[in-house]
Amino acid sequence: MLSVINICKNVHIHTLLVQQIRFKSKTHWAKLRKKTSPKYKAQNHFDEFYGSVFGGKWPPMKEAMLRRSKYVAVVNNYGDAEETIAFLTERGAHCLRALMSVQEEFHKQFPPTPTHTDTQAASVEQFTAKVQSDDISSIYPQDNLPEKLELSDMTIRSSEEEKEVEKQTVKSQTLEESLASAQMDMSRIIDPSMGVTSEALYQYVPATQLKGMDEWVPESLHYSYYSKDTDFPLAIEPETEFSFPEHLKVYTYEMGSEWNMFPEPKRCKTNVLNYYPMDCGSVLAVLALCLSPGDRVLDLCSAPGGKALVALQTLLPDVIVCNDSSISRTNRIGRIFRDYLIDFDTSNSWRERVLISTRDGRDFTDDQGFDKVLVDVPCTTDRHTMNEDENNIFRPDRIKERLRMPEMQSQLLTNALKLVRVGGAVVYSTCSLSPVQNDGVVHMALKHAFETHGIIATVKDLSAPFASLAGTLSLAAGSIAPRYGQLVTPTNDANFGPSYITRLVRVK
């Protein structure tokens, strides 16, 4: 009987403790708990990083990215194209090609003044220095910080050195003196309310400095990939070959009409879907390829296949190779092609024109070479990361993957420069606002391609042709504009992106 009473008392005390924790803040405890999920970690990270890079322009971008994104409709030429165009026009959508032509004529009368200023580098360098300082502070006590310490110096002492230090410590202090001066590490004490679970014990097992740091990756590593050292041939030239493909039909709503959303695509008489909805920034990546009749095209990171489908809708490539490192993702490419291309599984013509491969893009090889290569790399996918916890790159188990992402992106772009023929073009694109993953990766890949393979590529400035999109979407300009590419920035009036696009032409 007494044991039952004691159990009831313990349960009551535990309940009171939980209630105190829950009601300690005015905000509901469940909401506080949610704030620690990956999407909120991403938002806090972007507030700090993008806030330092974009300044006062970041808050409206963030507001737009937390809202429903906007799409364009790419008409399927293998369906009832004319009926689809009439349907979209009746709903108030406009032809993107026509909108760009009108804006282009306007710019001929009133040329836009270039406002690009390369101030982004200073902002990124300042932020990198701050993160590096935080990394060092997290390892070395502030009262014992070395006078001068570089990130590369943050290595772990060998076991022999540690033993030597231990010997010296034993000689210099008695046991009583050591106990008197010892400090208890309160962070390793397990809260009884947590329960003695295997997970809790695992998290709080004391680790030596050597064992605890062997897998450690500094946060500043991610930003160290952003460099502006120009010790290799680098040229930026205006793009003069750009033209909107005649057979590509893209429809969009005008700026400000955010709530005019396209309905779900429907089946045509040919049993394929009538149009493909996608972000306008993704369409720009295909336009930047400047496709020509008979091109042999490689989509190096193709899944889910939307950009490859848009390339096929131009009716220009002879062959397009769609590659992705994941079998499940290449299966998605096949499903999309079956939904939009007539008899995709049974037609011999499709088998000759469209090839799907499952290989690591960094090791992809080809004997024939390609006229155009699209490298839409895996990135932090900013909009998804800020809104969804599923498959979020800010999950604790994906920290190393996120921090080493620019390195992987650079390897993909470097290999693309190897695969493209001399005179051919590589388009690099991301769905991120990060200058590290955008200009930083382009710069790093151009440098590595030259130093390792002797490859020289020219950066093609797309500012002039993309200026005709001013009435459709928002492109970064002035102090927030990237140096090598174009950046589609989300706004409430034109909620596309974020998307980064740059065009490189191999000259050697």
Cα–Cα separations (whole angstroms), residue 183 to 121, 143, 176, 494: 43, 15, 13, 57
Question: What pLDDT, on the 0 to 100 scale, is given for residue 27?
Answer: 57
Contact 407, 380 (CB under 8 A): no
Which range is least confidently modeled, 139-148, 308-317, 369-378?
139-148
Token pair recorded at residue 3: 């044991």
pLDDT tops 80 at residue 177: no
What is the average pLDDT across 34-60? 92
Structural domains in the chain plus CATH codes: 60-125+227-506 (3.40.50.150)
Q: CA 62, CA 155: separation in Å to the nearest integer?
A: 37
Pairing of strands 72-75, 275-278: antiparallel
Give Dmax (Cα) for the chain: 94
Question: What pLDDT, on the 0 to 100 scale, is given for residue 206?
Answer: 45
- Nearest Cα to Cα of residue 387 among 34, 32, 15, 43: 43
What is the average pLDDT across 77-87? 96
pLDDT tops 50 at residue 333: yes
Question: What pLDDT, on the 0 to 100 scale, is given for residue 220?
Answer: 82
Residues 6+ apart with CB under 8 A from 184: none
Question: What pLDDT, on the 0 to 100 scale, is given for residue 222?
Answer: 87
Token pair recorded at residue 401: 């993957």
Q: CA 190, CA 143: separation in Å to the nearest integer?
A: 28
Residue-averaged pLDDT of the chain: 83
Of 280 and 21, the one with more pLDDT: 280
What is the average pLDDT across 319-339? 95
Q: Give the other-Cβ count within 10 Å of 28's Cβ.
A: 11
Q: Hey, what amino acid is at 299?
A: D
Question: What pLDDT, on the 0 to 100 scale, is given for residue 229?
Answer: 79
pLDDT tops 70 at residue 442: yes
Range ranked top by mean pLDDT from 100-109, 226-235, 257-266, 493-502: 493-502
Q: CA 507, CA 425: separation in Å to the nearest integer?
A: 9
Question: What pLDDT, on the 0 to 100 scale, is given for residue 136?
Answer: 73
**Catalytic-labelled residue, pool 280, 290, 301, 431:** 431
Token pair recorded at residue 134: 């935080």
Query: By three-state DSSP, how is residue 500 classified?
Result: strand
Q: Hey, what amino acid is at 311?
A: A
What is the average pLDDT across 272-294? 97
Residues 6+ apart with CB under 8 A from 47: 58, 62
Give the position of tokens 């155009």: 372
Name the phi and psi angles at 100, rounded to 5.
Answer: -70, -35
Question: What pLDDT, on the 0 to 100 scale, is given for residue 54?
Answer: 95
pLDDT above 90 coverage of the chain, percent: 63
- 280 in active site: no
Question: What pLDDT, on the 0 to 100 scale, is given for residue 162?
Answer: 44
Would you place residue 205 in the very low, low, confident or very high pLDDT band (cuts 50, 70, 90)? very low
Would you place residue 121 in the very low, low, confident or very high pLDDT band (cuts 50, 70, 90)? confident
pLDDT tops 90 at residue 294: yes
- Nearest Cα to Cα of residue 52 among 122, 116, 135: 122
Q: CA 477, CA 112: separation in Å to the nearest integer?
A: 11
Q: In what order do the strands lie in the sheet with 94-95?
A: 94-95, 250-252, 72-75, 275-278
Question: What pLDDT, on the 0 to 100 scale, is given for residue 150?
Answer: 54
The residue count for the chain: 508
Which range is least confidently modeled, 75-79, 175-179, 261-265, 501-505?
175-179
Cα–Cα separations (whole angstroms), residue 20 to 14, 31, 32, 362: 10, 16, 14, 54
Question: What pLDDT, on the 0 to 100 scale, is given for residue 258?
Answer: 53
Query: By three-state DSSP, how is residue 376 classified?
Result: strand
